Structure 1
Amino acid sequence: MNAVLAAVGIMLVMSLCRIHVVVALIIGALAGGLLGGLGMEATLAAFNKGLGAGATVALSYALLGAFAVAIGKSGLAHALADRILAMVGRQHSEKATASVKWLLIALLLAVSVASQNVLPIHIAFIPLLVPPLLYVLSKLQIDRRLIACVITFGLITPYMFLPVGFGNIFLNNILLANVTKAGVDVSGVNVTQAMLIPALGMVFGLLVAVLFSYRKKRVYNLAKISQTERNQVQYNPRTLAVAGLAVAVAFAVQLWLDSMIVGALLGFVVFTVSGVVRWREADDLFTEGMKMMAMIGFIMISAQGFAEVMTATGQVTSLVDSSVSLIGESRGLGALMMLVVGLLVTMGIGSSFSTVPIIAAIFVPLCLALGFSPMATVCIVGTAGALGDAGSPASDSTLGPTSGLNVDGQHHHIWDSVVPTFLHYNLPLLAFGWIAAMVL
């Protein structure tokens, strides 16, 4: 059995059985390495090598957690939550309450989309904005699975469709560059046009989630949220002004130096120097914030180890070769198999940006052999890379929403983030990506 397929399968099944994702990733990596013929020593060596690649991301999330706790201390996000809660309290009709619900959903969607291009901070906004809004969301009985789908849509669709911010990196620097490197002239290809139909698949999935799957109310324990998010939060114009300055400093530094670590650290320093976070409390608050993001950090580190083992086995290529032998000369079957392989690879690695370079060198010659146009080739490789970002237990597109929605322990990463986003985005993306490959 193919080692990559087995490793991803083991990891997913264990995660669905509510075994911790870190444990599932480690066991999946060990199984994949052994099945791939690496042996225990080489498997562990590859896994350990990959751990270092995830350290920067993990430290970024840890410092971001500390910064988020300081934001909470200042009361900035809670002031927004209180304003919205007051709006809810003034509404005496079901229709008026629903308007507040849609306002919140639209706000989170807009911020998520903007985090990829207008202000490219990726998931940095989630632990700052979402936890203080949990009380309001739960007061309105909004299903958090819906919010996870909304945020994940905003994290993925812009980079796979709009060549701005992270989209410029994915579409131009990674996708087009690797397709060109593999032997296709893309000078006449409009990458936005090539990815339009797959992006519509994401829109379709979002509409299904919003209008059908999670439209019903869901009850959460408000006492738990009060204990974690609304206990003794005091704010005034000065603390709010300092918080605004800290956020501006953190984001400006991140954009300037391209370092979430330095940005979050300087933002925390602003809180400390201003006195909003007292000097004697700074150490405890910093530790509390790092604990809040520790799980995500360890998952990201483990995911990098898992990805390194999969690469070391060399069986990503054999997985593709096995698919090729089934395709024959059928373009329809060929497009479907390439998309499915992309889904499996990205589900294991957890990053679309890392998947494209791996699959492009193999998929592009196959697309040429099957007679796909340059635009269809770009679409197939881009969609195959994006597939699996939503719905992967190790993707920051699912880990990010969980970090904000589970601060009170009422949002399960696998069943409330991973499974909903997998069903609502990967399945439509498969269908719309296949249609695009056939018509372009």
Structure 2
Amino acid sequence: MTLRQRAGALFPLDAEGRRVRWRIALSIAFVLAAAALSLARQGGPGALDSIWAEDGSHYQFTFNHGAIHTLFTPVNGYLLLVQRVVLSVIALFPIAWAAALMAIAGGLASSACAVLVFHASATLVPSRAARLCFAVPMAILPFGESEVGNNVVNIQWYLIYTAFWMALWNPRTRVRRALAAAVLFAAVGSDPLALAFLPLLAIRLWSRPLRESRWQLGGVAAGVLFQGIGVLRGSLDSRPPMHDYSAAFALHGYLRYVSGTTLVSSRELAHIGLSGALAVKLLGLLAVLTLAAAALLVNRAANRPLAAICAAFSLGFFCLVTMQGGSYNDRYAVPPLLLLITALAVLSSPARLSSQAEASKPAEPPHDARWTAARACLPLAALCVLVGVNVAANYSGGSQGRTIGPSWSSQLAAGRAACRIPGTRNAHLQTAPVGWIVKVPCSRLLGGGR
């Protein structure tokens, strides 16, 4: 097999597959159930009655400016397509609904991305259990005290990881190709960091016919053109100079916030008296390396090139975003963490062999065949257990900032009381974490709620 053929095997055409009603029903049920679980994990006033910091500031911007101005005003160096569109729609509804609508939109977005990834990865990762290992953590992140869940401004991180699979996905039907293009447009239009996966498209163009990639290329090109409008409007000047190009800085963060949270976490280790950052880094890395080594030893049929690509993008993306951002944040770890889990899932899951290859394999005695099959399943079973326990251990709590922050309903009541004072034109409502303010015209608070 030539190098081009090996590269082309990373982008296999998906199965013909008919639309099955039960599959559609299960997908919808998963989205709704996962979104409900994500919303329910939030403590304090709850996800439906609290607003995350940047959600409030962008929401304020949408109802103080026109839709076009809102869409094409850059923030921190780029345009935010999906975030600004969603918040502009939410701004059309009564202000009392804002917190609930933002949280529901965020929960549904992450869950919908998880379902799309689950189906789009089926050809490359045939095992449903393996795909659940990286789909479930998309909807319910395995670090509970995080800012990333149930809000609008952080939808981009789920879209970025989904873009990775859209670059690999090779659907046969036009509807699915259009869906892949739309997601790539949304991802790049919401954050140009999604362009980090351009090397995958380059390999795809080199190894596969152009007709199989035209839709994806169109989606990426549309996203680049959209971000280009932001550049013309001064997006590059809207980002403060924050960076730290030290490799040691990036690697330290990767050990703590990616490999240190993928299979184990500080919450789990605290139960055995190991809650320090050093213990989390060392034991987290040890768990990842041990599982990877076990999978390499017993699972010779795994798609190792794909696993290596996932691991390389996990480390590379985290280094890229932390170096240019100059800091560590939970949100930066979302795509790298999911990519690392994906690498382990691919290593632990046997690739589907062709019928010709299966026919050429020498027959094994029944007892040996059963033992071989059971042994091959052990790494995947261990991965499922570790991911499941990690998600469960970190389920409760939700975003700490929202847990201790004010409720939206109490702030609306205080704002309406302030607006009844003669001469008051605007109310300043606090969001979570404390210190973030939404400036709301009194006419909007008292004039019908819109």
TM-score (norm. length: structure 1): 0.27
User: Which structure exhibits the higher relative contact order, with contacts defined as CA atoms closer than 8 Å and separated by 6 or more residues?
Assistant: 1
Rg (Cα) greater in structure: 2
TM-score (norm. length: structure 2): 0.26
